[in-house]
Structure 1
Amino acid sequence: MRRMEHLETLYITECRNLREVKICFENGERMQRSEPNCFRNLQILNIYDCAVENLTWLRYTPRLRFLYVIACSSLEEIIAWNFAGSSEIEEDVEIFSNLEKVHFEGLPKLKSICRQAMPFPSLQLPKSKETPFEC
C-alpha cells in the first residue's frame, strides 16, 4: 500500500468477486485509524459494477473530492463503522470534509452513508447539464 500513497484517481470496474477492501500492513495486520493513510492523496474514486458490501476503507482517504458508485447491487453502507465515542467522531469528521461531488446509482441495498450523522462541508449541488462522471 505504500506505493499507492501518491494515487489520485482510482477506477474499480466490473470486479464482481470483490466483496471487501481491507487496508493492511505488509505483515497482514489491520491498519488502525491513527496510522498513516495509504490513500491520503486519492481525490477521485469511481466504483462500477462491483460486489462490495461497504466502502469503510474510505476512512483512509482524507482528500477524496469526487465519489461515484454505480451498479453495486450488494452495497449496504458506505462507511460501515461504529464510532466509539464523541472524540473519535470529531477526529473522523475529516472523512468527507473535501468531498465536492457524489453520485450513487443502482444501489438497491444501500441503507446508509454512515451509521452516524456526518457533515459534508464541501459538497456542491450539481449543475443542471452536468453528467455524473464530469470532474
Structure 2
Amino acid sequence: MSSMMRYLAVPNAPIFRLYFSGITKICSLTSLQYLNLSYTDISSLSIGLKGLRKLISLDLEWTSLTSIDGIGTSLPNLQVLKLYKSHVFIDARSIEELQLLEHLKILTVNVKDALILESIQRVERLASCVQRLWIIELSAEVLTLNTVALGGLRELFIFLSEISEIKIDWKSKEKEDLLCNSSPCFKHLSSIVIIDLEGPKELTWLLFAPNLKHLEVAYSGSLEEIINKEKGMSISNVHPDLTVPFEKLESLTLRGLPKLKRICSNPPALPSLKKIVVERCRKLPLESFRDTNSSKEVDE
C-alpha cells in the first residue's frame, strides 16, 4: 500500500478480522485522510492508528472498539468520527476527548446514561455534530432532548430502556439571540426506531420531528397511543406548524404493542406513507390507516 493513499475502506461483510499485520500496514499510510473500519473486530485504537495525524474521517461503527482515549490529541484533524453501535459508550472522559477535536463536524454515538446525554447537549458545539444517536439500556424518569443542541440529528434509536417520559426542549444558553427565529423541531431527523422501551403511554414528542420518514416502534408494553390528543393540542397551540403528524412518513412499523389503541385521536391521513407493517397490536383498529395508498402487512 502506498504511503500517499488518502482513502481506505476495509471490507464490511459480514465481519472482517483485522490482524496485527493489517493494522501495521494501515499505520504506514501517513497521508491517509479517510479510514473506514466499520464492521471489523478492531477493539482498540493502536498507537500506530493514533499516528495518522492527517486523518479527517474515521468510521468505527459496528466494531468492538471500547474506548477513544487519546483520540483528541492523536487525531487533531478529525472532522468525521463514527462510533454508532460500536462498544464505545460516551462518558465524561470521552466527552472531554471529543471536545479536543476542534474541527469535528459529524459524530455518531452511543449513550447509556441520561446525565451523560444532558452533558453532551450542554456542549452545543459537540451536540450539533451528532447525526446518529443510539440510546441503550438507559433508565430515567424523564429524558430531555434539545432540538437546538441536537439540531443535526438524523437518526435516533432507543433500545432496551426504561423512560417514563421524553421531553423536548428548544432553549439554548449559547444561542439566546437566535431563539426568536429558531424552530422548536428536529429539522433533519428522518428515522426513529424505538424497541423495548418501557414506561411511556404515548409518544407525542414525535410531533417535534415533522420530517420523519421512517418510524418503527416495537415491544413497548406500556404504549397506548402514539400521539395523545391533549398533549398534541398543547403543543400545536404554542407551535401551530406542528399540528399535523407524520405528513412525510414513508414507512411505519408497529410490532408487539399489546396496549396500543390508536395512532392519534383523529386517524392521520399519512399522505406520504408507502409501507405499513402491523404485527401483534390486537387493540389497534385498521381504521387508524384511512386514506393511505401504502402497502399493508397486518397480522391480526
Given the two structures, how large is their TM-score scaled by the length of structure 1?
0.75
Residues 62 and 98 of structure 1 are in contact (CA less than 8 Å); yes or no, is this contact kept in structure 2? Answer: yes
Distance 2:252 2:275 in 1: 10
**Cα shift at 1:110:** 0.3
Q: How many residues align?
A: 114
Take 2:228 and 2:167, find their aligned partners in 1: how far apart are those partners? 13
Query: Retained in 1: the 8 A contact 2:170–2:184?
Result: no
Other-structure match for 2:227? 79
Task: Indicate the residue corresponding to 2:167 in structure 1.
Answer: 22
What's the offset of the Cα at 1:25? 4.6
Instruction: Answer yes or no: is 1:121 the counterpart of 2:266.
Output: no
2:96 alignment counterpart: none
Q: Are residues 1:48 and 2:195 paired?
A: yes
Aligned match of 1:4: 150
Q: Following the alignment from structure 1 to structure 2, what is the Cα–Cα distance between the partners of residues 20 and 65?
A: 23
Q: What is the rounded CA distance, in whole Å, between the counterparts of 2:154 and 2:190 in structure 1?
A: 5
Tell me by how many angstroms 1:38 deviates: 3.8
Partner of 1:61: 209
Whichever residue aligns with residue 74 of structure 1, its letter is S
> Which of 254, 260, 269 is matched with 1:110 structurally?
260
Question: In the aligned structure 1, how far is the partner of 2:153 from the partner of 2:213?
Answer: 13
Task: Supply the RMSD in Å over aligned alpha carbons.
Answer: 2.3
Q: Distance in 1 between matches of 2:214 and 2:248?
A: 9
Amino acid at match of 2:263: I
Moved more, 67-76 or 117-126: 117-126
Partner SS state of residue 64, structure 1: coil
CA offsets, 1:56-85, max 9 Å, x none? 00111110000000100000010012365x
Output the amino acid matched with 1:22.
K
Offset at residue 26 of structure 1 (A):
4.8
Cα 1:97–1:38, aligned 2, differ >3 Å: closer, same or farther? closer
Cα deviation 1:7-49 (Å, max 9, x = unaligned): 010000000x21211113559xxxxxxx723422110000000
For residue 70 of structure 1, the aligned residue among 212, 218, 222 is 218
CA contact (8 A) 2:211 2:248 kept: yes
2:184 to 34, 37, 52: 37
Which entry has the higher C-alpha Rg, 1 or 2?
Answer: 2
Q: How far did residue 5 of structure 1 move?
A: 1.4
Contact 2:219 2:255 in 1 (8 A): yes
Give SS of 1:21's match: strand
Higher relative contact order (CA 8 A, sep 6+): 1
Which structure features the higher share of helix residues?
2
Q: Deviations over 1:103-122 (max 9, x none)?
A: 00010000110012321000
Q: Please tell me whether the aligned partners of residues 99 and 120 of structure 1 are also in contact (alpha carbons under 8 angstroms).
A: yes
Gaps of 5+ in 2: 1-145, 173-181, 277-300
